[in-house]
Structure 1
Amino acid sequence: PLRNLPAPTKPGLAAAMVPIGHSKAAPDYCPGATGSKAPAETQTRECDVGGNGAEYTNRSWILKPGLYPAGLKVSNGATAYLMPGIYWIGGGGLDVGGGGSIITIATAADATPLPSSSPCATATTTAGLCGGVMFYNSKLPTKAGGPVILNSSGATMKLASLDVAPTDPDRIYQNMVFFQDRTLTTSITLNGSSSTTVVEGIIYVPNGQVKLNGNGGTLIVDQVIASTFDINGNGGTIKVLRGTGVDAVIVAAGLVD
C-alpha cells in the first residue's frame, strides 16, 4: 500500500534543457544555465522556464528528470516537454500558469512539431498521452516546500504517469504522477480554466489538500488520494477516471498516512 511507499532517492541536478525551434540560452537558475546563475542544490531562486524576459515568451523546451532544487515554474506562454522519469522538486513547488503548457513526451522527437510517426502523434491513450513522469514534491534545507499549481488558462496540460520496466528500481512508483513529501502540508491545485487539463495517474498527497477546479474547462484526473479535498466545477467538467476511462470514486479523505 502507498502508506509504506518510500520517498524516491534524491537525484543529481537535472541535465540541461534543450531549446526547441530557437537558440536561446537556458533561463536563469534552470538546467543548462551558466555562470553565477547556474543551477546548484543550494540555490533559493526557482527555475522559471519562461521567465527571462520578453524574448523568452512562447518558447518551447525539453526538460529532463532529476533535481530541481528550488522549484519549477512554467510561465509566459512557454511550453515544457517532459522526458520520462522522476522530477524531484526540492522546495518551492511546481507552478504552471501564465499561459504556460506542460506535456509529457516519450522521446525528444515527440516535441513539437510532431512527426506523424512519433509515439505521441499515434498514441491511443486518454487524450493522446505518451511518455510518463512522476513529480516528487519535497523540500531542501535551503528551500521550504511549496504548493503545486497547474492552471491551464487556455494552455495545454497533459501529464502521463510514470511507466517503467518491471526490472527498473523505480517500478514501485509505477502509475504515479504526483507524490508529495509526507512532511509537507502544502496543496496541489488543478484548474481546468477554459481548456482541458489531463493528469493520468495517481495523485498522492498524504498530509495536504487536493483542489480540483473545472472553471469552464474540462479536468480529467485518475486516482486521487489526499488528506482533504476542495472540488469546484464553476461551469466546467471534472472527471475522475481509472486507467480504463471508467469513472472512479475519490476515497480515504482524512484517513491517509
Structure 2
Amino acid sequence: MFRRIRCLMKSLLSARSGNAMMMVALGMPALIGAMGYGVDTAQWYMWQRELQHSVDQAAIGGAWALAYSDDADYETRAKQEFNANQKITASFASAPTISLANFDGGTANSVLVTATATKKLPFTGLLLNQSATVMARAQARFKEGNKFHACLITLKQDGTTFQIGGNAHVIANCGLGALSCSDDAITIDGSATVETTSIAACGTVDVPESLQGTVTENASGLTDVYSDIPIPEPDSSTADQTKAKYCDGNGNKAIANLFPGKYVGGYTAKCATTFNSGIYFIDGGTLDLSTNATVVGKNVLFVLRKGAQIKLGGEGATGSITLTPMQAADFQSTPYAADADRLSQMLFMEDKTDETEPASHQINGNTNLNIEGVLYLPNGDVQINGDSGTTSKLCFQISAYTLDIRGSAYLRTLCDYDDSSLLGTSTPIVRLVA
C-alpha cells in the first residue's frame, strides 16, 4: 500500500501539464493590479495636468489685471480664467485660493494661485475605498509698464529730432521725450547743461554720462497724446479782426487792444499789446511777439493756420510776454464747449491741414518770457536761442515736430513730472515663475 502511495507521489511530482495554469493563477492578481495602477496613473495625470493648467492661467490672468492697474480686481479675473479652463475636474475641484505674494525681493508683485481636486480613482478607490487628492500651484509675477511723462516733446518719428547744444541751460524736471525711433533721436552736447528727471525715446539717445541714469531708450508705446484733440476752426460767426494798423497812440504810449477772431497774415506787436480772452485764428504770416513790446494775454488760445509761424521773445531786454491759456469754463459759450476739457490748457495749437512742409517757429531770449500752458506744434520746427533772459516762472509744455535749443538759451519750466504730458506707457511684463 505504501508502495502504491509513493508511486502516486512520484507521478504527481513528475507531471508538467498544469504549470501554465498555476503560473496564470499566481500572476493574475499582479497583472490586474498593474493594469489598474496604469489606469489610475493616467487618470491622476489627466486631473493634475488640467488643474495645473487652470491655476497657471488664473495666475497669469490676475497678474495681467494688476500689470495694467493697481486697483484692478485681480481675484475676479483669476477666477474667470480658472473656471474657463476647467472641464474634466470642474465637478470636484476646489475653488482656487488667490493671493498676492512677494517675489525676487519685491513686495506683493506676484499672484499666487493654488487649488486641489479630490475624487476616488477607478482602481485604488475601489480597492481601498479612499479618495485621491491632486494639488496644483502657480505663481505669476507682474511689472507695470513704465509711464513716461515729458513737457518737452518732439513728434517726428525718424531722425534726430531733439537737440540741445552750445551753452544752453535747460531746466525741465518734467521730462524730455522723442517719438523718433532712430539712433540719436535726442542729442545733448557735453557743453550744455540739462536738469531733468527723465529722458525717453523710441530710438536711442546721445547724452552726457551725468544724464545716463535718467535715460530710457527704445521705449515702446510712446504716442502723440494731443493728436486727436479737435482743433477749433473759424465759422461764419468768427469776426475778421485783420487791420492795416493795430496800434492806437504814438511812441511809447501806443497800445493795441486785440479781440478774438481771425487775423489774416499774422500780427506783429509794434506796441504794448493786450490779447483779450478768447480764440485767435492766425491765418498765415507770422505772429511776431519778438519786438520787445509788453504783451499780455490772459485766457487765450492761438490757432495757427495755413503755415502761420510764431516768434516769441525779443532782441533787447525791455519787453515782457505774459500769456496764459483758456480754462474749461471759458469754452462754455463757444462752439467748442463739448471739447472744453480737452482744449483747456492749450496755449498754441497748429492746424497742419494741407501743410506739407514744417513751419519754422522761434523763441528768443533777452526778454521776460512768462507763458503757461501747452504749445502744440505738430508741424513746427521750433528753435530756442538767446541768453539767460529766456525763462518762464510758470508751467509750460512744448510738443513740436522738432526742437532745437542752442546758443546760450536758458529754458526753464516749472511743471511737475506727474502733471506734464503723458508721453506713453511701455508694455507691462507678466511672467509665470512657479
TM-score class, shorter: 0.5 to 0.7
Give the corresponding residue for 1:208: 380
Bigger share in helix: 2
**Aligned partners of 1:239 and 1:148: how far apart in 2?**
19
The DSSP-based 3-state class of the residue aligned with 2:397 is strand
The DSSP-based 3-state class of the residue aligned with 1:99 is coil
Map 1:80-119 to 2 at 5 A.
80-104=273-297
Question: Could you tell me which of 126, 135, 142 is aligned with 2:302?
Answer: 135
> TM-score scaled by structure 1?
0.62
**Aligned partners of 1:58 and 1:167: how far apart in 2?**
33
> How far off is 1:91 after superposition?
1.1
Give the corresponding residue for 1:13: 239
**Aligned partners of 2:400 and 2:422: how far apart in 1?**
9
Give the corresponding residue for 1:186: 359
> How far off is 1:160 after superposition?
0.4
Task: Check conservation: 1:161, 1:177, Cα contact below 8 A.
Answer: yes
- Of all paired residues, the percent bearing the same amino acid is 26
Q: Which has the higher contact order (CA 8 A, sep 6+)?
A: 2
Q: Deviations 1:37-75 (Å, cap 9, x if unpaired)?
A: xxxxxxxxxx5635x9x9355412221111112211112
Give the corresponding residue for 2:78: none
**Aligned partners of 1:178 and 1:229: how far apart in 2?**
15
**Aligned partners of 1:72 and 1:166: how far apart in 2?**
23
Give the corresponding residue for 2:345: 175
> How far off is 1:159 after superposition?
0.6
Give the corresponding residue for 1:230: 404
**Aligned partners of 1:59 and 1:245: how far apart in 2?**
41
Give the corresponding residue for 1:66: 261
The DSSP-based 3-state class of the residue aligned with 1:70 is strand
Q: Deviations 1:219-245 (Å, cap 9, x if unpaired)?
A: 2261111111011251x5311232x69
Q: Gaps spanning 5+ residues in structure 1: where? A: 16-28, 31-46, 105-130, 140-144, 253-257
Task: Check conservation: 1:224, 1:250, Cα contact below 8 A.
Answer: no
AA paired with 2:323? L
AA paired with 1:61? A
Q: Deviations 1:69-92 (Å, cap 9, x if unpaired)?
A: 2211112xx111111111001111
**Aligned partners of 1:98 and 1:48: how far apart in 2?**
16
The DSSP-based 3-state class of the residue aligned with 1:182 is coil
Q: How has the CA–CA distance of structure 1 residues 167 and 161 changed in structure 2, closer, same or farther, with 3 Å as cutoff?
A: closer
Give the corresponding residue for 1:157: 321
Give the corresponding residue for 1:217: 389
**Aligned partners of 1:102 and 1:74: how far apart in 2?**
8
**Aligned partners of 2:280 and 2:390: how far apart in 1?**
25
Task: Check conservation: 1:13, 1:68, Cα contact below 8 A.
Answer: no
Say how many residue pairs are matched: 185
> TM-score scaled by structure 2?
0.38
**Aligned partners of 1:216 and 1:173: how far apart in 2?**
31
Task: Check conservation: 1:204, 1:225, Cα contact below 8 A.
Answer: yes
1:199 and 2:371 aligned? yes
- The alignment's C-alpha RMSD in Å is 3.0
> How far off is 1:167 after superposition?
6.8
Map 1:36-55 to 2 at 5 A.
49-50=246-247, 55=250
The DSSP-based 3-state class of the residue aligned with 1:165 is helix
AA paired with 1:175? Q
**Aligned partners of 1:48 and 1:148: how far apart in 2?**
19
> How far off is 1:6 after superposition?
2.0
Give the corresponding residue for 2:272: 79
Task: Check conservation: 2:284, 2:309, Cα contact below 8 A.
Answer: no
AA paired with 1:186? A
